Amino acid sequence: MPPLARTIASCYKIVMDQSPSPGARRATIERNTTETRIRVAVDLDGTGVYDVKTGIGFLDHMLEQLSRHSLMDLMVRADGDLHIDFHHTTEDSGIAIGMAVAKALGDRKGIQRYGHAYLPMDETLTRVALDFSNRPYLIWKVAFTRDKIGDFDTELFREWFQAFAMAAGVTLHVETLYGENNHHIVESCYKALARALRAGIEIDPRKRDAVPSTKGTLGGSL
């Protein structure tokens, strides 16, 4: 496990469902610090049911899109230091969701591993490609023309995607090819991530019992 991932993991109480059904890919993460208190539950084989309350309306809206379009059931409860700003709650929610996805995937046996999506939203087009490689990395080529969408700092979107990628153990490339409306730009990023995520975590029926790597494990060198 990379040093950063070990540091993140050490901050978390990780609780699996007490009686998961055979083959269930579910996990619950709890994180309590002086800055945020967060609980996340995911079911990778859900139907896109969500129950999200972070205290940040726009972030809730984006996480609901992530759940709905990936078909991952998602519950998020966050109580953060919003009297300071939205940074800690945004970043920590990305970490917690990423950790929950990683825990639910386990040894990643049988998954398709790779996913990509082109997501049009009116005048905007965003491309996301990902690899559940267990080698976290983010390429972020997304530009905004405004510093804020409502009360939300647009620079925090990169922080969320960076936190998610590091915690989930995913190589993640996000690029908005063109777009004008800042709301459309960021929403297309989350929806494209959702569709790519759905493809990457899908079980390959022909290789259900095999880790998708010639090494027999994911992580480390190619």
Assigned domain for 147 exists = yes
Assigned domain for 209 exists = no
Q: Is residue 197 within 8 Å of 143, Cβ to Cβ?
A: no
Q: Are strands 13-15 and 124-131 parallel, antiparallel or unpaired?
A: unpaired
Residue-wise pLDDT for 5-47, tens only, equals 444 444 444 443 433 455 689 999 999 999 999 999 999 999 9
Would you tell me how many other CB atoms lie within 10 Å of the CB of residue 172? 24
**What is the C-alpha to C-alpha distance for residues 130 and 174, in angstroms, rounded to an integer?**
9
Assigned domain for 216 exists = no
Assigned domain for 102 exists = yes
Position 165 scores a pLDDT of 98
The model's pTM is 0.87
Assigned domain for 210 exists = no
CATH number at residue 25: 3.30.230.40
Assigned domain for 217 exists = no
Assigned domain for 160 exists = yes
The total domain count for the chain is 1
Residue-wise pLDDT for 42-78, tens only, equals 999 999 999 999 999 999 999 999 999 999 999 999 9
Assigned domain for 163 exists = yes
Residues 6 or more apart in contact with residue 3 via CB below 8 angstroms: none
**What is the C-alpha to C-alpha distance for residues 189 and 176, in angstroms, rounded to an integer?**
7
Domain span including residue 80: 3-201
